[in-house]
Structure 1
Amino acid sequence: MAHMTLLNQQLKKVMDGWMDGWMDGWMDGWMDGWMDGWMDGWMDGWMDGWMNEWMDGWMDGWMDGWMDGWMDGWMDGWMDGWKDR
């Protein structure tokens, strides 16, 4: 009986070592793959897509609107001032 207990303990050590190694390898690989793949892809896609589109739209809209409004106001003021002379 003592022999079986010793054998079971040895087998448990081997299995625990194998499981620890397998889990470490699997987790490291999974995390690396997830980080490299999903996170990089998501971040790149988000940055390239949404952020760039938003910035482009904001710049186009705000700058165009601001420039149009400023130019219209300046021209109207200049014309009114010139006519009043």
Structure 2
Amino acid sequence: MDGWMDGWMDGWMDGWMDGWMDGWMDGWMDGWMDGFMDGWMDGRTDGRTVIYAAI
């Protein structure tokens, strides 16, 4: 029973941590990219043409 509980807890914690880290990283990257792009666009009016050209 101990072995089963250990395995279950390990698997649950691994899955929870993976999901939490994925969500946290996604949100962090989204926020960072949004802020970076906003600042870059404000500072460089000609940056808009570069972005449209890339699309």
Change (3 A) 1:68 1:34: same
Percent identical pairs in the alignment equals 94
The gaps in structure 2 that reach 5 residues or longer are 48-55
Cα separation, partners in 2 of 1:63 and 1:79, compared to 1, 3 Å: same
Aligned residues: 47
Q: Shift of the alpha carbon at 1:57? A: 1.1
Aligned-CA RMSD value: 3.2
- TM superposition shift of 1:76: 1.0
Q: 1:35 to 1:63 in 2, by over 3 A?
A: same
Q: Which of residues 43, 46, 56 in structure 1 aligns to 2:16?
A: 46
Computing the radius of gyration over CA atoms, which structure comes out larger, 1 or 2? 1
Give the deviation of 1:79 after TM superposition.
Answer: 1.5
> Which structure's residues are more often helix, by fraction?
1
- Segments of 5+ residues of structure 1 without an aligned counterpart are 1-30
- Cα distance between partner residues in 2 of 1:65 and 1:77: 18
- 1:63 is displaced (CA, Å) by 0.5
Q: Shift in Å at residue 36 of structure 1? A: 5.3
TM-score with structure 1 length normalisation?
0.37
TM-score normalised over the length of structure 2: 0.51
What is the 5 A alignment of 1:19-58? 33-34=3-4, 37-48=7-18, 54-58=20-24
Kindly indicate whether structure 1 or structure 2 has the higher relative contact order, using CA contacts under 8 Å at least 6 residues apart.
2
Report what 1:3 is aligned to.
Answer: none
